[in-house]
Amino acid sequence: MLRMFIHQIPSFIPSFFPRFTWSKAADRQIYLTFDDGPTPEITDFVLECLAEYNAKATFFCIGKNVVDNTAIIRRIQSAGHSIGNHTMNHSNAWKMDFTSFIEDVKKCEDVFVQQQIKSIGFRPPYGRITRKMYREMDDIILWSVLTGDYNASLKSDEILEAVIPLLKPGAIVVMHDSVKAFPHLQVILPAILAYCKEHNLVLSAL
């Protein structure tokens, strides 16, 4: 059976929403991003891998996970990584009205204020964007490379085969520091870090 997973965002989508951030102009920089944490042990695994390569990255955190894991947040901050808002409860913008969605974004923002976290921007869960979001929200950061690390029907080496050629300067790569993604993450993250080092790509925070 032919399986198909699109790892690269088709270019027409960013052209519909040019004000959102999909990738960045860069000389040697690549931007690794980790969504859905912080998650005990898994986020620490990511932090250890990043430290080993002296790499910086960005974590789009779920507010309720921040509340439950403030010690991990401190470790992310003290390592010099960036943090962004990923809603309080991982809300799906396509399945709720805009007012409720914005309330969930605001709740996460309030947690960030309480925890003295400076947000570098907002990433909508599932990458689900709407016209209203486009009109009314600023600092929305999507991605150019989707690893699909959460997808159990993919194999880790298939993911690497598809993703490695997309690791080019300016790419924003999405992974997940979540329980669901960990089986792939623990394989693909060390490989991605090693590839970037070998090719003099500078892993930077957004």
Catalytic residue (one of 35, 36, 104, 177): 35
Fill in the per-residue mask, 73 to 112: x = in contact with Zn ion (CB under 5 A), - = not in contact.
----------------------------------------
- Within residues 26-55, the interface with Zn ion by CB under 5 A covers 35-36
**Cβ-based nearer residue to Zn ion, 117 or 124:** 124
Considering only the stretches 2-10, 118-126, 129-137, 144-152, report the one whose residues sit in contact with Zn ion under the rule CB under 5 A. 118-126
E strand or H helix at 198 = helix 182-198
Contacts of 90 (CB under 8 A, 6+ apart): 36, 62, 125
For residue 124, the minimal CB distance to Zn ion (Å) is 8
E strand or H helix at 159 = helix 156-163
**Cβ-based nearer residue to Zn ion, 23 or 85:** 85
Phi/psi at 58 (5° precision)? -130, 135
Between CA 180 and CA 162 the distance in angstroms is 20
Between CA 76 and CA 109 the distance in angstroms is 17
Catalytic residue (one of 7, 86, 176, 184): 176
35 is catalytic: yes
What is the largest distance, in Å, between two alpha-carbon atoms of the chain? Answer: 50
For residue 90, the minimal CB distance to Zn ion (Å) is 6
Residue 173 has which token pair? 């790569």
Considering only the stretches 102-110, 117-125, 151-159, 180-188, report the one whose residues sit in contact with Zn ion under the rule CB under 5 A. 117-125
For residue 97, the minimal CB distance to Zn ion (Å) is 20
199 is catalytic: no
Between CA 108 and CA 110 the distance in angstroms is 5
Between CA 188 and CA 193 the distance in angstroms is 9
Q: Give SS3 for 191.
A: helix
**Cβ-based nearer residue to Zn ion, 150 or 192:** 150
Residue ranges that bind Zn ion, judged by CB under 5 A: 35-36, 125
- Catalogue the active-site residues: 35, 176
